[in-house]
Structure formats: structure tokens, C-alpha cells
């Protein structure tokens, strides 16, 4: 029910809406403190804004209906790579397929009827993958609209003969789907406080708010990782097409230099972008934007906002927005305390530089402008900068029980310890149940679909070989040997997976989470490796499941 809030009989929040409104109020209160200290007198109420880019896949329903894994788990538990995938980028840069264009128009017409204006739609990197981006809105409203958008995507797709997949990684080995959350904060009198303007080194309010974000991301990186943790996002984060599981901040060359100067205790004029000259008489030269982008960063500054790129495509944006607003509120309170003292010792600019210099000394390690996918960064981030690499949901969710996180939410009034602990239990249960469903489904599909088909093909090969021998011919039986080996390997792994899935005795939720992430998922990977090998050898007419090349390319 939108818009609504849900609470327990004793007043605890049971939803994501109440914490989002509380977090916004906490941020508004802290922002007022900082701006008042900066001499601002007319300060309108603060709000956070959100523009969420929604990625999704469309698969013809006729193919999806042959795949129990797509219907029940939202992703393909089996599937060998297509001979052609996304390596040519021809889908990304090509025209939208006509059938998909009709679907998009119908979908956006319905969005407008609900007051949800969409800004862009286009092909995404993978074949069969697309994206839609609504306009920026107040975070509370944007969260409601995101929920409606996901529902409408799936309902509208059905009417057009498609199945809409919102899973973060429905197809192994190709681009996953995210929901890039573009987030900023501001009000009617001071405007967007994350807009640096043309001279960011002179914009003290911006420097303070940007500094607050840097501190918050560094201090509460594990929290930001926890609020994007899900069984689906585990398949996406850390791969070379999605942000790494190490939470860092990308500022761009211009801003990184400004904050580097501040760390050294000085503030120099920032470098402008220069002039864009294409050497064409038809196009006038124009001023180049000094900002740039880094698609390998999980949390990147993009001109006048931060883009939280690590959010999963099936997630509500409320959880990430709650975390961002809360850590900003905490950091602004910290800055206000430091600034109040510093203002008694010098002028305003000196005070701001002094406070931000301290912030950079403690939290500057979170800033990284290089390749977030590189192995060198993964090593340096952990060993040299003290950042955490948190690869799985099982590793991420316990952050909700850390004392510092509990205190953060309690001090800001966003979530009580009881409310926070309930979220840990619910998210953990969702993860465990999702893994359980996938494991049972994999066992069922391997036994009732893949094994019979592979056995039939092996029998056909044996008969063909016997007939050849009767005719005095000798056939190469290497394929038969490979098929037999994969059948035996798959069944052995299936039996282990089935036994492992029955285990119920765990000392704690954390132990159960780790068991799912390591033992169950590890066995599932072994089953899949054998099944995918069989798909590449078994006759196409006998294979029981729609293949990647069909689902991705037939529209």
C-alpha cells in the first residue's frame, strides 16, 4: 500500500518508510547546525533527493516458461555461455528492438498516469538488457515510485509476451543488473549542497557537506555494504562489470585535488575543465566539464550528486537511502562540533580548512580514483588503507549487530536496537531461504530434466557406436566418455548438495549464513559446471531447457 507506514502494536517500525523519514529528519537537523555555524540565517527544511536508474532483462515468455529456475529463483541456475555474448557491444550501442520499443512506450504511459515521469530509456550492456531512469524526486517519493515501477515493469512485460527479470544476475558470465541510486541533499534556500559550482575551492558549504559524506562512507563502509547485501547481488558485486565489494569514494580529478590540498592544510584554486574543441566548423567550441566518471567505483561523485552504483536491481532504494541520510547526519553532527571550536580560533575559511584537514587525516583513505576492479587495488585497499573487502551477504549482514552501527542508529533516532536487530534477522532469513530454494530447485532440475536428457543422448551415442562396429567402422567415442563423466560427476555433486541442504543444526544465524555462502553455494557451483558441460555436448533437440542464445537474442 503506497503511501503507507507500518508499525507494530508496540510502535516499532516494520517497514522501510518510517526509517527513511526519520533519517531525513536527522539529516535536516544536523545540516541546520552546520549552516547556522557558517552564518546562514534563512535555512529552509532539508531533504534528500533520489534518481534511481533501473536495469532489467526481458525474455520471451515462451522461453522463460521452459525454465523452472527463472520462474522460481529469478535466475538461471544452469546455462552454458552463448557463442556470442556481449563482447561486440552491438546491443548496447544498437537500436532498441521494435517489440521492446512498443513495450517501453506502454510502460511509460502507465508511469505518467501514476505521476512518475521517466527521463531516459535505452539498451544496456548485455543482450536483452535495458534501463529506465526516472526524474530526480524527494527520496521519500522516489522510494514509493521505485516500488510501483518494479511492479509495473513485470505486469506490463506479461502483456507483451515478455518475462521481466529484476534479478541482479539472471545470466552467468554477462552483465548483471544494478539500480544506480543518484543521491543529493539540499533545500529551497541554499540549494543543492552537493553542487560544487564552478569554483569548488571557494564553496565552503559544499566542501563541508562533501567532507561529511567522505567521513560517513569511510567510517560506516560495512553498513553501506550491508544495505546492498542480497543473494542476487552476491553474484554481481566484485565482478568486472559491477562495483567491487570494497566501499570507496570516487571524487574525480578536480575534487580529489581540492581535498588533497586541504589535507596538506591549504586551499588552492581548482583546475577548470578547459575547452572542448572537436575541430569541426559545424560545432562551436564549448567549455569542458571538469568532472568525470568512474564506472568501477561503488560510490562516485558525478557532478552534483553521489551515485551509489552498488545497489541491486531488485532492491528497494529505501534501505540505501536510510543508510546514506543517517551517516550524513552523524558526520554533519561531528563536523558541527569541530567547527564550533575551530571558529573561536580563526576566520571562517581557516576554520573549515582545519576541520576538513582533520577529517581527511582520519578518513581520506576512502577516496580512490583508480580502477576498482584491479587486483592491486583489492590488495592495497585492505593491507594499506584498512578498508574491508566484504564479498558475500553472509559476511555483510552481521554489520547490523556491530556496536558502532547500533549506536549510530540509536543516536540519530532512526532505528532502535530492537528494530535494527529485527532487520538483521529478516534479511538473514531471506538469504537462507533463497539459497535453500535454489539448492532444492537445482537438485530437482538436475535429476528430472538434465539427467534424463543426457542419459538418452548417451544411449543414442552407444547405439550409434554399436551400429558402426557392426558395419566395420570405428567412431570417436570421446564425446560419449565426456558425457558419461559429466553425468557421474553431476549426480555425485547432486547427492552431496541434497544431503548438505538437509542440515538444520546451527549454533547461530551467522553460522547458518556462512554455511549457505560457502558449503551450499560451493556444491551448487560444482553441479552447474557438470550440467553446463553437458549442455555443450548433448544434442540440441534433446536438451530440455531454453538456451542463453535463445533467451538473450530472440526478441
Task: Look at residues 151, 64, 224, 208 and name the one whose alpha carbon lies nearest to residue 548.
Answer: 64
The per-residue pLDDT for range 372-406, each reduced to its tens digit, is 888 899 999 999 999 999 999 999 999 999 999 99
Q: 46 near 28, Cβ under 8 Å?
A: yes
| 107-118 per-position pLDDT tens digit | 999 999 999 989
Question: Rounded distance, CA 8 to CA 422, Å?
Answer: 12
Residue 24 clears pLDDT 90, i.e. is over it: yes
Report whether 531 contacts 450 (CB < 8 A).
yes
User: For the segment 225-259, what is each residue's pLDDT rounded down to a tens digit?
Assistant: 999 999 999 999 876 667 788 999 999 888 998 89
Chosen domain end from 371, 386, 415: 415
pLDDT at 438 over 70: yes
Range of the domain at 482: 431-553
CA distances from residue 323 to 26, 55, 223, 236, 379 in whole angstroms, order as listed: 12, 22, 7, 21, 27
Cβ proximity of 43 and 512 under 8 Å: no
- Residue 291 pLDDT grade (very low, low, confident, very high; cuts 50, 70, 90): low
**CA dihedral for 302, 308, 310, 316, sign (positive or negative):** negative
What average pLDDT does the segment 524-536 reach?
Answer: 98
Cα–Cα dist 132/330, whole Å: 33
Most confident range, picked from 72-76, 86-90, 367-371: 72-76
Q: In 3-state terms, what secondary structure has residue 309?
A: coil
d(Cα 478, Cα 475) in Å, to the nearest integer? 9
Q: Is the peptide bond before 51 cis (omega within 30 degrees of 0)?
A: no
Task: Please report whether residue 83 resides in a domain.
Answer: no
Number of DSSP helices (H) and strands (E) in the chain, helices first = 19, 11
pLDDT score, position 273: 64
Q: Rounded distance, CA 453 to CA 542, Å?
A: 6
Residue 221 is predicted with a pLDDT of 96
211 pLDDT higher than 70: yes
Query: Is 70 exceeded by the pLDDT of residue 317?
Result: yes
Sorted by sequence, the CB contacts under 8 Å of residue 392 that are 6+ apart come out as: 229, 234, 517
What pLDDT was estimated at residue 484?
96
How many domains would you assign to the chain? 2
pLDDT at 448: 97
| pLDDT value of position 292 | 66
- Mean pLDDT computed over 44-53: 95
Give the pLDDT of residue 425. 97
Q: Looking at the domain assignment, is residue 422 inside a domain?
A: no
For the chain, how long is the longest CA-to-CA vector?
A: 101
Residues 390 and 474 grouped into a single domain: no
Cβ(373)–Cβ(240) below 8 Å: yes
Q: Are strands 275-276 and 129-134 parallel, antiparallel or unpaired?
A: unpaired
Is the alpha carbon torsion for 471, 472, 477, 479 positive or negative? negative
Average pLDDT over residues 415-431: 97
**What pLDDT score was predicted for residue 282?**
78
Looking at residues 294-306, what average pLDDT do you find? 90
For residue 48, give the CATH number of its domain. Answer: 3.30.590.10
Is residue 185 situated within a structural domain? yes
Residues 31 and 167 in one domain: yes
- 272 pLDDT band (50/70/90 cuts)? low
The verdict on 390 and 480 lying in the same domain is no
271 — pLDDT class (breaks 50, 70, 90): low
473 pLDDT tier (thresholds 50, 70, 90): low
What per-residue confidence (pLDDT) applies to 265? 80
**Segment 58-80 mean pLDDT:** 97
Write the DSSP symbol of residue 138.
Answer: E
In terms of domains, do 124 and 189 share one? yes
Within this chain, do residues 352 and 458 fall inside the same structural domain, yes or no? no
Which candidate, 35, 399, 438, 5, places its Cα nearest to that of 223?
399
State yes or no: pLDDT of 325 exceeds 90: yes
Strand partners, 286: 276
Buried residues in 161-186 as b, exposed as e (16+ CB within 10 A)? ebbbbbbbbbbbbbbbbbbbbbbbbb
Claim to verify: residue 479 and residue 409 sit in the same structural domain? no
pLDDT digits (tens, 9 = 90+) for 348-357: 999 999 999 9
Task: List the one residue out of 177, 330, 308, 204 whose CA is nearest residue 250.
Answer: 308
Q: Is the domain of 302 the same as that of 441?
A: no
Q: Are the C-beta atoms of residues 432 and 510 closer than 8 Å to each other? A: no
Separation CA 248–CA 377 (nearest Å): 11
Residues 218 and 331 placed together within one structural domain of the fold: yes
Instruction: Return the H-helix or E-strand segment holding 306.
Output: strand 306-308
Clarify whether residues 384 and 299 are in a common domain: yes
pLDDT above 70: residue 457 = yes
Give CA separation, 488 vs 454, 531, 534, 545, in Å: 11, 11, 11, 20
Same domain for 503 and 385: no
Amino acid at each position: 500500500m503506497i503511501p503507507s507506514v507500518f508499525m507494530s502494536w508496540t510502535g516499532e517500525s516494520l517497514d522501510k518508510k518510517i526509517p527513511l523519514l526519520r533519517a531525513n529528519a536527522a539529516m535536516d537537523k544536523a545540516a541546520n547546525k552546520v549552516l547556522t555555524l557558517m552564518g546562514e540565517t534563512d535555512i529552509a527544511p532539508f531533504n534528500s533527493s533520489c534518481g534511481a536508474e533501473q536495469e532489467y532483462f526481458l525474455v520471451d515468455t515462451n522461453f522463460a516458461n521452459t525454465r523452472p529456475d527463472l520462474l522460481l529463483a529469478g535466475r538461471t541456475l544452469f546455462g552454458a555461455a552463448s557463442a556470442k555474448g556481449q563482447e561486440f557491444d552491438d546491443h548496447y550501442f544498437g537500436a532498441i528492438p521494435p517489440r521492446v520499443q512498443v513495450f517501453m512506450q506502454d510502460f511509460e504511459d502507465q508511469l505518467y498516469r501514476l505521476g512518475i515521469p521517466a527521463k531516459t530509456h535505452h539498451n544496456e550492456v548485455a543482450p536483452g538488457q535495458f534501463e529506465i531512469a526516472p526524474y530526480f524526486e524527494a527520496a521519500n517519493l522516489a522510494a514509493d515510485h521505485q516500488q510501483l515501477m518494479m511492479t509495473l515493469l513485470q505486469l506490463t512485460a506479461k502483456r507483451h509476451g515478455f518475462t521481466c527479470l529484476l534479478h541482479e544476475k539472471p545470466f552467468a558470465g554477462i552483465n548483471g543488473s544494478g539500480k544506480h541510486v543518484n543521491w543529493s541533499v539540499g533545500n529551497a534556500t541554499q540549494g543543492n549542497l552537493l553542487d560544487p559550482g564552478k569554483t569548488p575551492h571557494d564553496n565552503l558549504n559544499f566542501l563541508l557537506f562533501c567532507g561529511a559524506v567522505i567521513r560517513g562512507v569511510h567510517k560506516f563502509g560495512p553498513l553501506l555494504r550491508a544495505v546492498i547485501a542480497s543473494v542476487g547481488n552476491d553474484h554481481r558485486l566484485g565482478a568486472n562489470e559491477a562495483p567491487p565489494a570494497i566501499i570507496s569514494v570516487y571524487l574525480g580529478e578536480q575534487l580529489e585535488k581540492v581535498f588533497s590540498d586541504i589535507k596538506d592544510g591549504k586551499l588552492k584554486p581548482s583546475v577548470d575543465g578547459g575547452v572542448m574543441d572537436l575541430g569541426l566548423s559545424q560545432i562551436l567550441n564549448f567549455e569542458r566539464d571538469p568532472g568525470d566518471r568512474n564506472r568501477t567505483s561503488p560510490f562516485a561523485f558525478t557532478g552534483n550528486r553521489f551515485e551509489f552504483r552498488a545497489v541491486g536491481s531488485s532492491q528497494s532504494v529505501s534501505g540505501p537511502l536510510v543508510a546514506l541520510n543517517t551517516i550524513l547526519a552523524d558526520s554533519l553532527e561531528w563536523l558541527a562540533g569541530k567547527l564550533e571550536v575551530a571558529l573561536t580560533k580563526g576566520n571562517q575559511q581557516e576554520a573549515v580548512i582545519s576541520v576538513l584537514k582533520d577529517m581527511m587525516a582520519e578518513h581520506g583513505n576512502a577516496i580512490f580514483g583508480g580502477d576498482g576492479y584491479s587486483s592491486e587495488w583489492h590488495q592495497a585497499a585492505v593491507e594499506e588503507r584498512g578498508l574491508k573487502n566484504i564479498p558475500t551477504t553472509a559476511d555483510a549482514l552481521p554489520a547490523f549487530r556491530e556496536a558502532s552501527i547500533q549506536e549510530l542508529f540509536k543516536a540519530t533516532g532512526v532505528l532502535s536496537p530492537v528494530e535494527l536487530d529485527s532487520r538483521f534477522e529478516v534479511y538473514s532469513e531471506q538469504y537462507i531461504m533463497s539459497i535453500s530454494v535454489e539448492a532444492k530447485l537445482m537438485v530437482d532440475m538436475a535429476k528430472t530434466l538434465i539427467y534424463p536428457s543426457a542419459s538418452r543422448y548417451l544411449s543414442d551415442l552407444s547405439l550409434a557406436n554399436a551400429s558402426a562396429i557392426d558395419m566395420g567402422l570405428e567412431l570417436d567415442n570421446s564425446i560419449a566418455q565426456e558425457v558419461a563423466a559429466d553425468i557421474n560427476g553431476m549426480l555425485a555433486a547432486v547427492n552431496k548438495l541434497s544431503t548438505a541442504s538437509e542440515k538444520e543444526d546451527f549454533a547461530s544465524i551467522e553460522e547458518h549464513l556462512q554455511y549457505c555462502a560457502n558449503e551450499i553455494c560451493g556444491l551448487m557451483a560444482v553441479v552447474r559446471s557438470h550440467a553446463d558441460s553437458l549442455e555443450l555436448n548433448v544434442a540440441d533437440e534433446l536438451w530440455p531447457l531454453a538456451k542463453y542464445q535463445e533467451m538473450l537474442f530472440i526478441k
